[in-house]
Amino acid sequence: MEIAPSKTKELMLIMSPDSCDRGTELHFLSLFERPMIIVIPPKYLLEGEINPVPHKDSVLLFEGGTDVNPTLYKQELGHCTQAPDSQRDVHEQHYFELAQKVGAACVGVCRGAQLLCALSGGELIQDVKGHDKNHNLVLPDKYKRLEFQTTSAHHQVMNPYVLPRPEWTSFGYAKDGTGWHHNDGNGRKSKVWKKWKDWKDQEIVWFKKTRSLSIQGHPEYYKTETSNFVLYCRFLIDFLILRERAANNEIQTP
């Protein structure tokens, strides 16, 4: 994989190989309000193109797409889970590791959120019903449980509960009753409420150790940039990632 040094502060977008038309990525420009360059899977590089190397001021954005390989979170592939794109998994894991090496931050959307959850030490519930349509996102108690709509087009949910609680922070979860029939991908129930009494179907999670913000919904789906979900995502990216709120890159959640 050819990579070249990058000297400017930019958002580094990991482009989905299943939508390799370069123009489809432009909607992220207005969403994140940062100069952006694209990291391209090696098989889609044009002649003379090389990928950039992340540095400490980079922000890597991982897009949506097919389910990640369950081996990344130490589970077997269930029959409800899509056949993984192993080449993409390896490519994106490589860039995640490069980001960790230099202290760069990561943002994941949909598949990207689930990938960052897995690579941060979390797991996924391989199949869940009820998340295949838009629903209400509930903000944590500190925001007085404010609700607004989020996009939803997935059948898996993040499971950060397997990690020590100080390692992750919820910034939004699906309204109770949205998700149901959580299972391991083979029809066997995952008894999430029995294992974790405070279980919520997490939609937005901040993984402090890896500086990774996982956003399950698609903010770029909204036609208006002033929707509550888009504005909230911008706020979180700005607060957690783009602003240095404390010394030594120590992020303090609100």
Structure confidence by residue, pLDDT tens digits, 38-51: 898 888 888 998 99
Domain ranges of the chain: 3-125+157-173+201-249
The answer to whether residue 4 scores a pLDDT higher than 90 is: no
Position 249 scores a pLDDT of 45
Q: What is the pLDDT of residue 26?
A: 67
**CATH number of this structure's domain 3-125+157-173+201-249, picked from the four choices 3.40.50.880, 3.60.20.10, 3.40.50.300, 2.40.70.10:** 3.40.50.880
Digit-coded pLDDT (tens) for 53-95: 999 888 999 999 999 999 999 999 999 999 999 999 999 999 9
What pLDDT, on the 0 to 100 scale, is given for residue 177? 92
Which position has the higher pLDDT, 12 or 96? Answer: 96
143 pLDDT higher than 90: no
Out of 60-74, 136-150, 184-198, 240-254, pick the least confident: 240-254
* pLDDT at position 130 over 80: yes
Write out pLDDT tens, residues 205-229: 999 999 999 999 998 888 777 889 9
Cα–Cα distance between 161 and 133 in angstroms, integer? 24
CB atoms within 10 A of CB 235: 12
Which one has a higher pLDDT value, 85 or 10? 85
Averaged pLDDT, 126-135: 95
The answer to whether residue 142 scores a pLDDT higher than 80 is no
